[in-house]
């Protein structure tokens, strides 16, 4: 005699796991802090991730502060965990707008990650990348100086 076992019905069907798009608002992923450094440079410190999701917020925040910059706008990326291609596009667009109004843009790219990204994109010179905020504020231009 053969015993046939039948599947036991469950009371609830299996649950499908759905991966929702990033549910965090860009403001929860990216933060931009503004401060003036006498006698005039404007420093924008960026913290978080710069990607397709947060790039529009970054662009808006940077361009909104551009009129406050006199001759030098420093974007400090020291606390940036990720910098994607759209972030590079934003930085170049802000640089172009800054140049149009006579403001020089300088970027602080002190982490290995940021230097690699900017170097791979060929943007170390174009963004006047500096290793730290002190160099960015004291330099008068020229080639990037990484120790």
Termini Cα distance of the chain: 83
79 burial class (0-12, 13-18, 19+ CB within 10 angstroms)?
middle
Q: Return the percentage of the chain with pLDDT > 70, whole number.
A: 74
Q: Is residue 14 part of a domain?
A: no
pLDDT tens track for 101-128: 999 999 999 999 999 999 999 999 999 9
Check which CATH number belongs to the domain holding 76 and give it: 3.30.750.24
* 3-32: pLDDT as tens digits: 556 555 555 444 444 334 456 776 677 888
Q: Look at residue 78 in the predicted model and tell me its pLDDT.
A: 95
In-domain check, residue 111: yes
Counting the structural domains of the chain, the total is 1
Output the pLDDT for position 18. Answer: 39
**140 pLDDT more than 70:** no
């Amino acid at each position: 005699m053969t015993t046939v076992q039948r599947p036991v019905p469950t009371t609830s069907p299996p649950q499908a796991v759905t991966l929702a798009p990033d549910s965090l608002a860009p403001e929860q992923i990216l933060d931009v802090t503004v401060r003036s450094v006498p006698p005039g440079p404007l420093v924008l410190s960026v913290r978080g991730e710069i990607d397709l999701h947060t790039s529009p917020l970054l662009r808006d925040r940077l361009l909104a502060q551009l009129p406050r910059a006199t001759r030098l706008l420093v974007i400090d990326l020291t606390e940036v965990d990720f910098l994607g291609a759209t972030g590079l596009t934003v930085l170049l667009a802000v640089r172009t707008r800054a140049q149009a109004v006579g403001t020089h843009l300088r970027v602080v790219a002190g982490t290995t990650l940021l230097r690699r990204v900017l170097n791979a994109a060929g943007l170390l010179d174009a963004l006047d990348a500096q290793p730290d905020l002190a160099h960015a504020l004291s330099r008068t231009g020229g080639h990037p100086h990484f120790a």
